[in-house]
A and B are shown apart, each in its own frame.
Chain A
Amino acid sequence: MPFDPDLPSNHLIYAIRARRDLYENFPAKLKAAAAEYGLSDEEVQAWRDVNVRRLGELGVHPYFLPQITRIMKGAANNNSRSAAAQAYKRSMIDGQ
């Protein structure tokens, strides 16, 4: 599915980058953030699983997908061996 600017996940990722209260330790806040932004159960599950392939299929903008891996897995030292990049690889490349 192409980018859907009305998809709640897009509103969440757009906003989160300016909201320290959300992005710090975000995985623990996913449920509350999902409620605040109106994410569907399917979106929440994809966030929880760091299933960026599925989020892309739902209409999340591709540019946001690596950011989601960093929000969920950490942003430091984001080389190809980082937890975030490996999560991206598992979902988008390996299809797991």
Chain B
Amino acid sequence: MAKIVASMALSHAPGLSGWLDSVTPQQQAQIAAGFTELRRRFEAAKPDLIIGVANDHMLNMPMKNPPDFCIGTARQWIGPAEFFREWLKMDEYRVGGRPDVAATIERRALGEGVTMMHADTLLFDDNWSVPLHYLTPGHDVPLVPINMNCINAPIPGPERSYRAGQSIVRAIREDLPADLRVAFIGTGGLSHEPGGERYFDVDETFDRWFLDLLGTGDVERILAEATVERMEAAGGGGTAELMAWLVAMAGANDKHADTVFYVPAVEMRCGIGAVTWDFDGKPPA
């Protein structure tokens, strides 16, 4: 019975590494302070493994009939893929994987009706590279990446996302070794519209509504209101990455999310923020 010691969700916008100096100095400071606090909470939890969920960006999953999830089974990951390095202004990094953990999660998920494929090669773009850059800049905590179909319709809605999260959490708590300390994270969002007419916009009203909604801790209401349609209305083809946050929410004991920070960074073309669950200021036992 492994333990989830950190539950969190955060943005992974490419501008966070690629053109951070283009946002206002005030926003740069807010973003830096926000990620510093998020990393402090992450490190306080002393995780020895990250199990993460993030949009695949139609990079690895098939374009036709993709499953909801694709779990990475490699012993080591190399990122970002070369194509994305200049964009992300990021050099190559390597981070360990856990094929045994991935196989266990996949087995549980498939047995419980979650559509999940696996792959031992995954191209990493901003989805993993940006979160790892801020949470574990030394890349010294292994990662089991679970890529998610958030933009190739039909995509999993809130109920299906959360149920998948519950299945992953059962695998963590019931099937993985007892001494394993897991950080269960979701990445993506907040509002953005890559590929649409609102490419240069951020929907601050939606973003603050969504963060407040997560703060209620009312799972039934969250799943009823944080719909694909509501997310698409706030930014098509991107905002629905927040479904990964609902997957991660399944790992929280107390569902009241604490917003660590939020910045409506228009120059990033994305609302930037992060939440944690269960963090009480002390390292988990």
Contacts and interface: CB of A to CB of B under 8 A. Distances in A.
Interface residues of B toward A: which range? 20 to 34
A17 B123 contact: yes
23 contacts: A5-B63, A10-B63, A14-B58, A17-B59, A17-B83, A17-B84, A18-B81, A20-B82, A62-B237, A63-B58, A70-B87, A75-B84, A76-B89, A78-B18, A79-B22, A79-B267, A80-B22, A80-B269, A85-B200, A89-B200, A92-B199, A93-B199, A93-B200
A38 interface: no
A23 interface: yes
Nearest to A93: B197
B196 interface: yes
B58 A66 contact: no
Given A18-B81, A78-B18, A78-B19, A61 B195 contact: yes
Nearest to A23: B83
Closest 3 CB pairs of A and B: A62-B195, A79-B22, A75-B87
A62 B196 contact: yes
A88 interface: yes
Interface in A21-77: 23, 52, 56, 61-66, 70, 75-77
Contacts of B227: none
Interface in A78-96: 78-82, 85, 88-89, 92-93
Interface of B: 14-15, 18-19, 22, 57-59, 63-64, 81-84, 86-87, 89, 123, 151-153, 194-197, 199-200, 236-238, 267, 269
Contacts of B64: 5
Contacts of A66: 194-195, 199
Nearest to B150: A63
Nearest to A68: B195
Contacts of A3: 152-153
A89 B81 CA distance: 27
A16 B83 CA distance: 9
Contacts of A18: 81, 83, 123
B119 to A, nearest CB: 13
B18 A65 contact: no
Contact of B86 (A10, A76, A79, A93): A76
Contacts of B194: 62-63, 65-66
Nearest to A11: B63
Given A79-B267, A92-B199, A17 B81 contact: yes
Nearest to A77: B19
A57 to B, nearest CB: 12
Contacts of B14: 78
Nearest to A56: B195
A3 B82 CA distance: 26
Given A17-B81, A66-B195, A78 B58 contact: no
B268 to A, nearest CB: 9
B269 A75 contact: no
Contacts of A93: 197, 199-200
B122 to A, nearest CB: 11
Contacts of A81: 22
Contacts of B22: 77, 79-81
Contact of A80 (B18, B195, B237, B267): B267
